[in-house]
Amino acid sequence: MIQSPAVTVADKTFIQLRNDIVEGEIAAGSKLSEQELSTKFQVSRAVIREAINRLETCHLVERKANVGARVVSLTTESLIELYVIRESLEGMAARLAAVNMTSEDIDGLQQLLSRHSEQVKGGESYYQEAGDVDFHYRIILGSKNKQLINLLVDGLYHLVRMYRVQLGMVGPRVTTAFDEHQHIAHAITNNDPELAELLMRRHIMYSKNNIEAQLNLYK
């Protein structure tokens, strides 16, 4: 898949729906009526079905035969499960990146961190949302493992974003996370795959623990 510039109507509908779901405009757990959506978007049901199929591919909706499609519901368990998978896959991505990133890739990564550094000093919390994603995204691409990239970017990325947006993942982890990013980048620069993987796994595990703690406040 990988972001191709939406040539067909089904493409546009899919992207629109995906945004609506990730942003929460279509509520988590709600039903996706084909008829309703086809009148809303002024397209045929075939287009809607195609779009829903793709949403299922990136784990944003679940379909049951003869019953229909529902947006996935956001549960604490699923979020934790997701972070465990991220820990595993992005840890591996960091390991691979330490071996496979070119010096240009590494330069770009360092420049990204420099910009983030100024933002953190300046007290901007803009960092958390886009910055964190950017960093992880570069590591994933740096793995140069096409299947891994596809799995993460098209398969889990949007689901992670959906949780972040809708549960409002903020917390006081901004500067801490930035330090962790620097350590990971350092390990990659030194071509130290074991350390890069270890640090990335810890980094994601800390995020997971942080989220678990936040969620337990509501209990």
Partner DNA sequence: AAAATCAATTTTGTCGACAATTTGCTCGGG
Partner DNA sequence: CCCGAGCAAATTGTCGACAAAATTGATTTT
| Residue 4 binds a copy of itself (CB under 8 A) | yes
Answer with the entry of a copy of itself, DNA, none that 68 interacts with (C-beta below 5 to 8 A by kind): DNA
What CA–CA distance (Å, rounded) separates 97 from 168? 30
What backbone phi and psi angles, to 5 degrees, belong to 104?
A: -65, -45
What CA–CA distance (Å, rounded) separates 204 from 194? 16
Answer with the entry of a copy of itself, DNA, none that 84 interacts with (C-beta below 5 to 8 A by kind): a copy of itself
Strands (E), 58-196: 61-64, 68-71
Angle (CA) 74 78 79, round 5°: 80
| Chain contacts with DNA (rule: CB under 7 A) | 7-11, 31-36, 43-47, 49-50, 63, 65-69
Measured over all CA atoms, what is the biggest interatomic distance in the chain, rounded to whole angstroms? 56
Stretch of residues binding a copy of itself (CB under 8 A), selected from 108-116, 145-153, 165-173, 204-212 = 145-153
Stretch of residues binding a copy of itself (CB under 8 A), selected from 3-11, 35-43, 110-118, 204-212 = 3-11
Provide the CA 80 distance to its chain's centre, in angstroms: 14
Answer with the entry of a copy of itself, DNA, none that 86 interacts with (C-beta below 5 to 8 A by kind): none
With 0-12 CB in 10 A as exposed, 13-18 as middle and 19+ as buried, what is 103? exposed
Q: Hey, how many other C-beta atoms are within 10 angstroms of the C-beta on 90?
A: 25
User: What is the rounded end-to-end Cα distance, in angstroms, of the chain?
Assistant: 40
Stretch of residues binding a copy of itself (CB under 8 A), selected from 54-62, 114-122, 133-141, 176-184 = 54-62
Provide the mask over 69-108, with x wherever binding to a copy of itself is found by CB under 8 A and - wherever it is not. Answer: ---------x--xx-xx-xxx-xx---x------------
Whichever of 63 and 186 has its CB closer to DNA, that residue is 63
Strands (E), 27-161: 31-32, 61-64, 68-71
- Least distance from C-beta 77 to DNA, angstroms? 24
| Residue 66 binds a copy of itself (CB under 8 A) | yes
Residues in the site for a copy of itself, rule: CB under 8 A? 4, 7-8, 11, 46, 49-50, 53-54, 56-57, 59, 65-66, 78, 81-82, 84-85, 87-89, 91-92, 96, 145-148, 150-151, 155
